[in-house]
């Protein structure tokens, strides 16, 4: 349990640590490698003891991932110029990082007892929320935090994180886990956390995150009063989410000369069509690797003059997960990713089958958030993805523990 909590806290503060110590920029990757090596070592040890603990469904995810890794390096052989082998591996690892942590984390910690840590988490969550809230409110008149943008008439800030989107995602996941613990243990809602963290997400200024959080609040408020959320409620929430983000959605998917994300998505489709079915190759488009070693494709496809995509200022190159997947790995690579994500969702459902709908809803929420924001963000390949996956594993293990405890109590009665 201690090892998991250390990794959990490191992933939570990874962006902050990286901002304070720029040389430490691989915490998420180190966690993924350590988890993978530990899972393989545990599996090998159990196999020698003839204790076959790897489930067929786990083997399925492992097999699909291995096939995908082999496929990842095929596009580079069909396309020139190509990035360095190191940056190709770097890009591939970034794409599969959340899958590695999910598979190895479930195998390592599926039945770990975490209940003794929930009080610590709630206190830590409340403390962080309070500190960030005080800082955010004071910053409105004093302006001591570095502004990222101006939205809704106020300066948006990242609270020391690399990007406001990473801060917003972290706050949303913390809120979900806090709600999960409080609801599971007390049958109540932590209203202070819910509404205080909404202020923090609002101060981060990410329209999609704000829309998602407002929808979350609407659903959470009716949680205690109904046995199951009706379909029409989801329709209303979806309409609210679309209304709040319709302008952003239009910009991202239709694309304009001034909107980097829209240009990236549009160009990725062109690349995938011209290099069907493989794409341009790892490290060549929309990835951090293509920014570290500036890809000639940005010039070739006439987007190197778009703000945020220039060689001098490539900050927005990594602003769309699906633009990266489609551009680098083509339509076939996109299909692989959709299969892998679908398989992960299926595995997650198998872990919590039999739980109440509230529990299922909360456990799925972090991944749902990452998927909903993936066209206009890269949460799935950022260091935030590790925190998101570890939070999901934490809730799965806690849910197993709560259910086991309830069964024991019922047996005694």
Residues sharing a CB contact under 8 Å with residue 225, sequence separation 6 or more, in sequence order: none
Could you tell me the pLDDT band of residue 74, with boundaries at 50, 70 and 90?
confident
Between 121 and 356, name the one with better pLDDT: 121
> What's the CA gap between 280 and 80, in Å, rounded?
8
Q: Is the peptide bond before 81 cis (omega within 30 degrees of 0)?
A: yes
Query: For the residues 73-89, what does the mean pLDDT come to?
Result: 83
Q: Would you say how long the chain is, in residues? A: 413
Maximal C-alpha separation, the chain = 72
Rounded mean pLDDT, 126-142: 94
- Mean pLDDT within 373-381: 80
Cβ 73 vs Cβ 7: under 8 Å: no
From residue 121, give the alpha-carbon distance in Å to each of 16, 163, 239, 245, 361. Answer: 19, 24, 34, 32, 20
Please return the burial class of 403, using the count of CB atoms within 10 Å of its CB with bins 0-12, 13-18 and 19+: middle
Mean pLDDT of 23-47: 84
**Cβ atoms within 10 Å of 346's Cβ, excluding its own:** 13
Contacts of 220 by beta carbon, 8 Å cutoff, 6+ apart: 179, 189, 194
Give tens-digit pLDDT for 167-205.
999 999 999 999 999 999 988 899 999 999 999 999 998
pLDDT at 407 over 80: no
Mean pLDDT over residues 348-354, rounded?
Answer: 89
Helix (H, G, I), strand (E, B) or coil at 110: coil
Residue 332 burial by Cβ neighbours in a 10 Å radius (0-12, 13-18, 19+): middle
How far is the C-alpha of 85 from the C-alpha of 282, rounded, in Å?
Answer: 9
Over residues 51-76, mean pLDDT: 84
pLDDT at 243: 63
pLDDT tier at 307, thresholds 50, 70, 90: confident
Q: Taking the alpha carbons of 299, 377, 349, 92 in that order, is the dihedral positive or negative?
A: positive
0.75 exceeded by the pTM? yes
Q: Which two tokens stand for residue 356?
A: 């109440």
Tell me what the mean pLDDT of segment 210-233 comes to.
78
What Rg value do the Cα atoms of the chain yield, rounded? 22
Q: How high is the pLDDT of residue 52? A: 60
Q: What Å distances lie between residue 340 and 62, 95, 182, CA to CA?
A: 10, 11, 32
Confidence of residue 391 (pLDDT cuts 50, 70, 90): very high
Q: How does 227-257 read in b/e, with b if 16+ C-beta sit within 10 Å?
A: eeeeeeeeeebeeebeebbeebbebbeebee
Please report the pLDDT score of residue 259 as a whole number. 74
Q: Which two tokens stand for residue 207?
A: 């329209």
Chain centroid, CA 66 distance in Å: 22
Query: How many of the other CB atoms lie within 10 Å of CB of 377?
Result: 27
Place of tokens 């009665």: 413
Mean pLDDT of the 316-342 span: 92
- Over range 11-31, report the average pLDDT: 79
More confident residue, 406 or 290: 290
Helices (H) and strands (E) in the chain, counts: 17, 2
* Confidence class for position 285, pLDDT limits 50, 70, 90: very high
Question: Under a CB-based contact definition with an 8 Å cutoff, are residues 215 and 365 in contact?
Answer: no
pLDDT of residue 199: 95
Measured between its terminal Cα atoms, the distance across the chain in Å is 30
- pLDDT at 393 exceeding the cut of 90: yes
**Average pLDDT estimate for 105-109:** 89
Q: Among residues of the chain, what percentage have pLDDT more than 90?
A: 39
């Amino acid at each position: 349990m201690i090892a998991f909590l250390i990794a959990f806290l490191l992933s939570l503060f990874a962006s902050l640590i990286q901002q304070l110590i720029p040389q430490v920029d691989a915490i998420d990757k180190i966690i993924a490698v350590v988890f993978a090596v530990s899972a393989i070592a545990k599996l090998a040890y159990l196999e020698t003891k003839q204790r076959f603990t790897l489930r067929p469904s786990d083997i399925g995810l492992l097999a699909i991932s291995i096939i995908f890794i082999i496929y990842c390096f095929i596009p580079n052989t069909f396309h020139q110029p190509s990035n360095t082998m190191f940056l190709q591996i770097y890009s591939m690892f970034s794409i599969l990082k959340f899958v590695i942590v999910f598979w190895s984390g479930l195998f390592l910690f599926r039945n770990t007892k975490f209940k003794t840590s929930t009080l610590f988490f709630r206190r830590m969550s409340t403390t962080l929320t309070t500190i960030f809230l005080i800082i955010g409110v004071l910053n409105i008149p004093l302006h001591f935090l570095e502004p990222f943008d101006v939205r809704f008439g106020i300066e948006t800030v990242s609270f020391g994180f690399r990007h406001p989107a990473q801060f917003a995602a972290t706050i949303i996941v913390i809120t979900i886990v806090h709600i999960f613990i409080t609801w599971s243990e007390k049958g109540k809602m932590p209203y202070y956390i819910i509404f205080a963290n909404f202020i923090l997400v609002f101060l981060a200024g990410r329209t999609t995150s704000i829309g998602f959080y407002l929808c979350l609040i609407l659903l959470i408020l009716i949680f205690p009063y109904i046995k199951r959320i009706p379909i029409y409620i989801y329709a209303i929430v979806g309409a609210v989410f679309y209304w709040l983000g319709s302008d952003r959605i239009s910009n991202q998917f239709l694309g304009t000369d001034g909107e980097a994300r829209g240009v990236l998505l549009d160009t990725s489709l062109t690349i995938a069509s011209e290099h069907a079915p493989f794409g341009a190759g790892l490290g060549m488009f929309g990835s951090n690797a293509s920014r570290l070693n500036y890809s000639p494709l940005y010039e070739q496809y006439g987007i190197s003059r778009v703000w945020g995509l220039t060689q001098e200022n490539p900050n927005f190159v990594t602003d769309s997960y699906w633009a990266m997947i489609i551009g680098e790995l083509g339509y076939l690579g996109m299909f692989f990713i959709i299969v892998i994500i679908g398989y992960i969702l299926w595995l997650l459902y198998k872990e919590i089958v039999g739980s109440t709908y509230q529990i299922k809803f909360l456990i799925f929420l972090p991944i749902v958030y990452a998927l909903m924001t993936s066209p206009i963000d890269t949460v799935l390949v950022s260091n935030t993805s590790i925190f998101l996956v570890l939070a999901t594993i934490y809730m799965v293990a806690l849910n197993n523990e709560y259910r086991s405890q309830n069964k024991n109590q019922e047996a005694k009665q």
